[in-house]
Each structure stands twice: as C-alpha cells, then as structure tokens.
C-alpha cells in the first residue's frame, strides 16, 4: 500500500517502537554511512546493524543484491526484522528489492537522502536492480512500510547531486496538469498556478525551503500511483523524459569515465522528448523553446557523438514501456499535460537527438 510520507526524521522512533521489529538493519552507501547515519541512529530506539555498498548507480547490480541477501542471513535477520534504506535511488531501489524478496518479504522503510529520492525513487513502490547496463530490468512493485522525508539530508549533498534531483521536479512541472481520472475538471485554470511557472525560474542551490516543492511533487506522484499502482497506463506519465533519458544514462555508464547522473540524463531526455512532442502531439514552438532554455540553463549540455545514436536506440528498445518493436513515448500536448504510449519512428527519435545537439 502507498504510504503517505512523514516529513521529519524525528517521527521514526515512535514508528519503530510500534512495529516491534526483532532487528534493525540499515542499508547505506559509503557516503550516507559517513554523512547521514549519525543523524538516523540518534533517532532510533535500539542498536542497528549495517550493510554498506559503494556509492553510485554501478552498485545497483545482482552481485550486490546477493551480497545484501547474504548479509541479512549472516546478521540473523528473521521475518520480523526491518531494513531501513538510507540513501538515494540506488539504495532505495536495491534495498526495497532485496527486502521484499528475502524470506519472501521483510518490512522496509525508505529514508531518502537525495532530492531525487525524496521526490521520486523512495515513493511509489518501484524496486529494482540493473542487469549489465540496462536500467531496472529486474524488480517488483513493493511498497515500503513507511517513508521519512527530511530535507536536513539535502545539506549533505554535493551541488551536482542536488541539481540532478531538480530534473525530476521539472518533470513534475511538465506533467502536473494531466488528468488522473476521467471525471476530473481541469485543475489549473490559471497558468500561473502551475508548478512549472514557479520552478523554472529557481536556481536549485538557492532554494531556502524545500518542503513545499517536495510536498507538491509527492502529492502528485501519490495521486498518479493510487490511480495506477502497477503502471498499466496513467503511471507511465511519470516517465516523461525517461525513454531517451534512460538510454542516455546507460550509454554514459558504458562510455564515460564520470558517467552522467540519473537526473542529468533525464534532463537530456526531457528536451529531446519535448522536441518529439512539438512534432507529434501539438506542443507549441514557444513551449519547446521554454523547456529547452530552462533545462540547458540549469544543466548545461551533454555532448555525445552522432555515431552513438544506434547505441541509444538499442537501449531505448530495452525500455519497459515498449511493446513489440515500437518505441513508445510519454509526450506533451502542452506544458503540464502529458499523453502516454505515443509511438515514434527511429527517424523521429534521431531528429530529436539532432535537435538537442544543435542547442
């Protein structure tokens, strides 16, 4: 079941006491172990065991999943144990996957420490690992028992990580107005009320209070997930920018010494997919220019070579939203309104990459 997050880590003590867990095991990476663990441990009513991974998307693999299962056994974790996932999307994805399969499922709690984790990865019940460099190929829908979101952890993030998380916030701005149910009236008669109109002017490193922005994103995600928990249809809109973005991310993991972060890759994908939206679903030229300018201002540009296009297309074919041989996209009718399952040809996709590279 979807859990409404608590917006302070101080609530965790009461929660753990109520759960009467036999053991607390914290899954962390070397960064969250160093920078966030102390803060967590002082809120907990009993001692913990810890399992530590190397940071970064490369760690979200089968070897580490086996390592976590092995460590859970080694630590004598029984079915009343709880795994607290302390970290970004890599930790909550692999931790959720391992907890929900270990002994056919033990409880897990997500404690996201990155902006991206707070607004997206830690909520909504997706858990997974990557296979080779293909993203999220093995996993299951499994909801955490609780999620605690505390912006205090954002202070531990390098600037680059914080900015990368902002990509998912921009994504919510671009899909916010999509109707969750058929009956729903148009929600935003005044364009000024749209999240996009507010966040597009912000510099992520200068935002003094994250709570209102995070809450808006979380509310939006919860409404979409409640309507379509297993991504049969509507939930796909949460993947705007991700078809091309995931391909860029896998490609970069493959070839770059310092690979792009997830959010940085999605930023590229959101521009290319805005171009496809302009070509196919009626997004205006002004909106395309607006989206491109905002994203390039915040993220700069990722330079890749045109010969890489075929690799990117190959990765796109692996995207879970596809059926048969088609590559399907979430595209925009206008800023705020998304459509899903829009097929695009290879020629159109290559044209969208050309568009990105000419910016």
Closer to ligand GLY by Cβ: residue 12 or 234: 234
- Pick the piece of the chain touching ligand GLY (CB under 6 A) from 77-85, 232-240, 278-286, 304-312: 232-240
Cα(14)–Cα(271) distance, rounded to whole angstroms?
44
* Smallest separation, CB 192 to ligand GLY (Å): 27
Q: Which of 31, 85, 110, 126 is catalytic?
A: 126
239 binds ligand GLY (CB under 6 A): yes
How many Cα neighbours within 13 Å face the side chain of 139? 25
301 a catalytic residue: no
- Pick the piece of the chain touching ligand GLY (CB under 6 A) from 7-15, 55-63, 120-128, 136-144: 120-128
80 a catalytic residue: no
Q: Which of 43, 161, 168, 177 is catalytic?
A: 168
221 a catalytic residue: yes
168 a catalytic residue: yes
Q: What phi and psi, each to the nearest 5 degrees, are found at residue 262?
A: -55, -50
Q: Which of 135, 236, 262, 328 is catalytic?
A: 262
Number of other CB atoms surrounding residue 137 within 10 Å = 14
Q: Which of 57, 161, 231, 273 is catalytic?
A: 231
262 a catalytic residue: yes
242 a catalytic residue: yes
89 binds ligand GLY (CB under 6 A): no
Cα(9)–Cα(28) distance, rounded to whole angstroms?
16
- Pick the piece of the chain touching ligand GLY (CB under 6 A) from 235-243, 245-253, 290-298, 307-315: 235-243
Cα separation values, 304 from 14, 37, 350, Å: 50, 38, 13
235 binds ligand GLY (CB under 6 A): yes
> Which of 43, 120, 161, 273 is the binder for ligand GLY (CB under 6 A)?
120
* Smallest separation, CB 128 to ligand GLY (Å): 10
Number of other CB atoms surrounding residue 22 within 10 Å = 14
* Helix 346-358 vs helix 262-280: crossing angle, to nearest 10: 120
235 a catalytic residue: yes
238 binds ligand GLY (CB under 6 A): yes
Binding-site size, ligand GLY (CB under 6 A): 6
* Smallest separation, CB 242 to ligand GLY (Å): 7
126 binds ligand GLY (CB under 6 A): yes
104 a catalytic residue: yes
* Smallest separation, CB 206 to ligand GLY (Å): 26
Cα(25)–Cα(110) distance, rounded to whole angstroms?
12
Interacting residues of 217 by C-beta distance below 8 A, sequence separation 6+? 119, 120, 168, 169, 172, 195
* Smallest separation, CB 126 to ligand GLY (Å): 5
Task: Give the 3-state secondary structure percentages of the chain, helix then strand then coil, rounded to 5.
Answer: 55, 15, 30
* Smallest separation, CB 44 to ligand GLY (Å): 28
* Smallest separation, CB 171 to ligand GLY (Å): 9
> Which of 117, 124, 259, 336 is the binder for ligand GLY (CB under 6 A)?
124
**In the chain, at which residue ranges do the beta strands (DSSP E only) sit?**
24-29, 48-53, 82-87, 107-112, 126-131, 134-141, 146-147, 327-334, 337-344
- List, edge to edge, every strand of the sheet that includes 146-147: 48-53, 24-29, 82-87, 107-112, 146-147
Strands 327-334 and 337-344: antiparallel
Residues that bind ligand GLY (CB under 6 A): 120, 124, 126, 235, 238-239
Q: Which residues are catalytic?
A: 104, 126, 168, 221, 231, 235, 239, 242, 246, 262
């Amino acid at each position: 079941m979807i859990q409404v997050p608590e917006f302070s880590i101080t609530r965790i003590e009461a929660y753990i006491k109520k759960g009467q867990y036999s053991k607390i095991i914290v899954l962390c990476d070397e960064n969250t172990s160093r920078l966030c663990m102390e803060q967590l441990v002082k809120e907990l009513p009993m001692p913990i065991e810890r399992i530590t991974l190397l940071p970064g998307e490369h760690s979200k693999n089968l070897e580490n999943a086996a390592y976590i299962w092995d460590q859970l056994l080694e630590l004598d974790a029984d079915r009343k144990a709880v795994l607290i996932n302390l970290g970004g999307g890599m930790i909550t994805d692999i931790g959720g996957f391992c907890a929900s399969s270990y002994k056919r499922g033990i409880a897990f709690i997500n404690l996201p420490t990155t902006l991206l984790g707070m607004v997206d990865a830690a909520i909504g019940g997706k858990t997974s690992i990557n296979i080779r460099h293909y993203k999220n190929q093995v996993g299951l829908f499994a909801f955490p028992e609780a999620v605690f979101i505390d912006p205090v952890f954002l202070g531990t993030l390098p600037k680059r990580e914080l900015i990368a998380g902002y990509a998912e916030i921009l994504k919510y701005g671009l899909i916010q107005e999509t109707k969750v149910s058929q009956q729903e009236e148009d929600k935003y008669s005044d364009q000024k009320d749209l999240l996009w109109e507010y966040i597009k002017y912000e510099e992520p490193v200068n935002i003094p209070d994250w709570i209102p922005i995070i809450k808006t994103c979380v509310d939006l995600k919860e409404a979409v997930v409640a309507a379509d928990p297993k991504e049969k249809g509507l939930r796909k809109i949460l993947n705007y920018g991700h078809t091309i973005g995931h391909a860029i991310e896998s490609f970069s993991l493959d070839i770059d010494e310092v690979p792009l972060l997830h959010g940085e890759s999605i930023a590229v994908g959101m521009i290319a997919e805005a171009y496809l939206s302009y070509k196919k679903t009626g997004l205006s030229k002004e909106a395309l220019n607006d989206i491109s300018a905002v994203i390039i201002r915040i993220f700069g540009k990722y330079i890749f070579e045109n010969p890489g296009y075929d690799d990117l297309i190959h990765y796109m074919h692996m995207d879970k939203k596809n059926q048969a041989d088609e590559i399907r996209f979430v595209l925009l009718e206008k800023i705020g309104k998304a459509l899903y399952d829009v097929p695009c040809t290879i020629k159109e996709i290559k044209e969208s990459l050309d568009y990105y590279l000419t910016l």
